Amino acid sequence: MGREVDKSFAAARAMMEKAGFKILVPVKVSVDPQLPFMGYTMPEGGSFSIVVSGGSVGSGMLEGLLVHEMSHIYRMQTKHPSHNPAILDEAVENILGENRLLDYQQKSLHDLLNDIQDLYADDIAFSVFRGSRAPFLKDAADFLQSWVKDEPVRSGDTVRDRWANASILVHNARQLLRCRGIMLRMLEVRLLKATSGSSTGLLVNLRRLSHSSVTRWQA
């Protein structure tokens, strides 16, 4: 397990650097076999710790996950506002004022902020994937689709259900947006192969497709 993590981390780091997103801070990666979601990143003084789930190792998606986590690190390294805790705290304070949130409301708010940060991390991650062959994209698209919930929560507690369903709505939108990005990247890879890597040929093919699937995905 450790060797696959080290290998994927080295490959992901090299992909980031090649794409112009060099990580300048120390980063360590560890595996939590019990983690119920894919992974997360924690700042630790001047360094960062990425924790990935046991299930992500051997899934074929570890490299993609590590690029995503390092994209968060790049945003923190470059002090992007989306990853600045002081700015996020102030925004939340402005919305809440004197109101205090219950635990489940805090979780919804936390998930919402996380989805926003993911948007900015994925902007980088997809730029990195664009410069690579990224064989994990197909698995990633299937995996993300499996996270989309198509049934609302109906527990009988109306207020609680509203919070949960608003959270599901935002999260679904986030996952679908990611799937769209992955599908566009897969299309690009296929077209590049079909045109033997020629960017002129790629543009010609993209123009041909501009009235079909590409525009539908962008809708």
| Chain positions contacting Zn ion, by CB under 5 A | 118
**Minimum distance, C-beta of residue 9 to Zn ion, in the bound complex (Å):** 16
- Count Cβ atoms within 10 A of the Cβ of residue 139 and give its class: 0-12 exposed, 13-18 middle, 19 or more buried: middle
**Minimum distance, C-beta of residue 68 to Zn ion, in the bound complex (Å):** 6
Q: Which residue has the tokens 């525009």?
A: 215
- The CB-nearest residue to Zn ion is 118
Residues 6+ apart with CB under 8 A from 165: 152, 153
As a whole number of angstroms, the distance between CA 116 and CA 112 comes to: 6
**Minimum distance, C-beta of residue 121 to Zn ion, in the bound complex (Å):** 5
Q: Are 113 and 88 in contact (CB under 8 A)?
A: yes
User: Given the complex with Zn ion, which of 63 and 118 has the nearer CB atom?
Assistant: 118
As a whole number of angstroms, the distance between CA 219 and CA 214 comes to: 9
Structure tokens at 105: 């409301």
User: Given the complex with Zn ion, which of 43 and 201 has the nearer CB atom?
Assistant: 43
User: Given the complex with Zn ion, which of 39 and 205 has the nearer CB atom?
Assistant: 39
User: Given the complex with Zn ion, which of 82 and 105 has the nearer CB atom?
Assistant: 82
